[in-house]
Amino acid sequence: MIRVGLTGGIGAGKSTVAATFAERGGYLIDADKIAREVVAVGSDGLRQLVEAFGADILAADGSLDRPALAAKAFSDDEQRQKLNSITHPLIGARTQELLDAAGADAIVVQDIPLLVENHSAPFFHIVVIVGADAELRVHRLTTSRGLDEQDARARIAAQATDEQRRAVADAWLDNSSTPDRLAEAAARLWDERLVPLEAGVRLGVPATPVAALVSQDPNPASLGTRLTNRLWALCGANATAVEVISSEPVTRLRVTARAGAEPELEQALPPGGFVATAPGEYASADPGRPAVVTIGD
């Protein structure tokens, strides 16, 4: 199983990519859908919100009145933390339930609008970002979703910048053209990169780098940082250091193991996308992100 983090700014066209991946067999986990589900009518989450914020956050039909909740929950940091302490564990638990139900050969696509803002990119095998020019996104939001221009610009400004997204992106799907063109690009990414990555992880086979995919890296300068952060996410407290040794032609990294923790690292790296090629050496299973990792002490 591999986990694909999918995100993009409002109006960029992320839903088209999510639908394309799902059509090709992706196991889709929609963060927004889960966030609504855990506070649906009759849920424990809604009960907890009413206890914390009062019954006046309910609409006439008993459902959550989101504007009423927002008026209370975002009035200060303490109220915001109270909201997060209720919803975040519920969302996390439901997400984990869905992950546990995925098949061993699944390509799990986690559609997360705030993936960049929440700093969760390192926890995915690959991060796919859908991008489009801000002015084009404003046009889409005002013509297709009915937002006024000021609201559309405010929503875009409140999210991560394209620069911040490129810093964590392993693949960038440009949506400056038509939905059909975007769907075609997403399908190619699925076939040429995501399917081989999943097979490599599941079978323990390192990738043969594909030059065309490598050249499409959205931000080659950030590759070392992305790989370093991914390794920290996999290794955690079992490592004392992760460093880039060289970057040409293949990025090489060294993980320094905590005393006695080499077995834990050897178990963590293969399912995380770095498969064993020799004792203490691991290679990326991603044909678009070649890397070699060694474990030392």
227 or 249: whose pLDDT is higher?
227
CB 250 within 8 A of CB 257: no
pLDDT above 80 (res 41): yes
- According to the annotation, is 12 in a ligand binding site? yes
pLDDT at 139: 92
CA 174 to chain centre: 17
Backbone phi and psi for residue 242, each to the nearest 5 degrees, phi listed first: -135, 125
Residue 73: predicted pLDDT: 87
pLDDT at 70 (0 to 100) = 87
Quick one: pLDDT at residue 294?
97
Residue 76: the pLDDT is: 81
Contact 203, 155 (CB under 8 A): no
CATH classification for the domain delimited by 2-200, as one of 3.40.50.300, 3.40.190.10, 3.30.390.30, 3.30.2130.10: 3.40.50.300
* 272 assigned to a ligand binding site: no
How many C-beta atoms surround the C-beta of residue 66 within 10 A?
A: 13
Annotated domain spans of the chain: 2-200, 218-296
Q: What is the mean pLDDT of residues 193-214?
A: 97
First to last CA, the chain: 29
Q: Which amino acid is at 262?
A: E
How many angstroms from the chain centroid is the CA of residue 38?
Answer: 20
Confidence of residue 158 (pLDDT cuts 50, 70, 90): confident
Give the pLDDT confidence score for residue 160 in this predicted structure.
93
How far apart are the C-alpha atoms of 160 and 261, rounded to whole Å?
A: 36
Mean pLDDT along residues 265-289: 97
d(CA 37, CA 40) in angstroms, rounded, equals 5
State yes or no: 63 annotated in a binding site.
Answer: no
CATH of domain 218-296: 3.30.460.10
Is 11 annotated to bind a ligand? Reply is: yes
Neighbour tally for 167: CB within 10 Å: 17
- Report the percentage of the chain scoring pLDDT > 70: 100
Domains 2-200 and 218-296 share a fold: no
For the segment 212-231, the average pLDDT, to the nearest whole number, is: 96
Structure confidence by residue, pLDDT tens digits, 171-198? 999 999 999 999 999 999 999 999 999 9
Lowest mean pLDDT among 37-41, 96-100, 112-116, 143-147: 143-147
Largest Cα separation within the chain, whole Å, is: 64
Q: What is the mean pLDDT of residues 45-58?
A: 95
**Residues with Cβ < 8 Å from 102, sequence gap 6 or more?**
1, 27, 108
The amino acid at 67: P
pLDDT for res 141: 93
